[in-house]
Structure 1
C-alpha cells in the first residue's frame, strides 16, 4: 500500500507563478511590464522611460505589489518592459536598507528584519517573488511504474515535513487523518523502527 501511495500521489496545489525582479542601482523607480502583479492602480501619466534600443514608452499608471506581508508601493507599469526592476534608490527613500553580499542581497527595515531576500547570478542580483494572485487550483496525479518513480520523486522536489505541515495548516492535506484511516502508527522521534521480514510493522 505504501508503494502505491508513493507511485500514485494526489495533492491539491495552488498554481503559483514565479516572478523575477532585478535589483537595479540605475533604475529611478520600481517598474514592471506585468500589470497583473499590481493592485491599487492609479491611472496617471508619470513620464516616459527610454529603453536600451532608444524606444520610448510612457508610464501611464502605477500600483502596489504585495508579497506575503510586504507591500511595495508605487511600482510603475511600463508597457513593453521585458524585465521587472526594483530600484535601490526607491527602497532607500522608503527608509529601507539594501545590503549586498557575495551571493545574496537583502532588503531590510530599520529594525534589521529581512523583508525580501535575493540571490546573485550571472552578474545580476535578483529577487524571486511568487504571484499568488492566480486563484486556480490544480490537481496533480502521478501514476508511475517502478522505473519512473524517481522521476516523480525529483519533480516533487523531495517533499519535506515543513511543506507537508504547511499544506496541512491550509486544510489541503491532513496527513495524520490519512495515517489513522490506513492504520499507520506514525512516530517521528523513535530511535529505531521494528521490522519483520524487511517490512515495517504496523501497530
Structure 2
C-alpha cells in the first residue's frame, strides 16, 4: 500500500499494490492489473479503481459507478456521471472507443477511462436471467431486497431487447 497526497486537496490517496489479474484490450493484448485505490470525490467513493500497467490511466467499470448509487448516461461523444438527483458529477469525452474523464473534473491527478464497448450491463444480464422479466418488476425486487443475489441497483431499460421484440411480433395465420 502506498499513500500519497494529491495536488489539489489534503486528502490521502491510498494505493494498494497487489497483482489482481489481467485485462484484455479490444485488439487482444493483455496487461496486468498492478493494484487499486478508492477514488473519493466529495461524498462519493468509487471502490477498487484499477491501475493497469502501460495504460497510464485508472480503469473502472460503469458498474462501479452504479455500486456508488450513481447513474451513467452515454451520448454519441459525451458521457455523464450523475448522482440520483440528476446533478452531473463527471463529464467524459469520447475518443475512438473510450470515454475519458479529464483530471480537471476530479481531485485525482490522472484521468479515468470508461470502456465504450463493455460487456452487457448487469441490468440486461439480470433481465435475461429472470426470463426477460420487465424492468418495472425487476426494480421493486431489487429495491425491497426480495430476491437473494439480485444486486441493489436501479435497472434501466435503455434499448429494446431483441428477444422480447421477437416474442411480441405478430404471427400470420397458416393458409389452408
Q: TM-score, normalised by structure 2?
A: 0.42
Q: TM-score, normalised by structure 1?
A: 0.37
Greater Rg by CA = 1
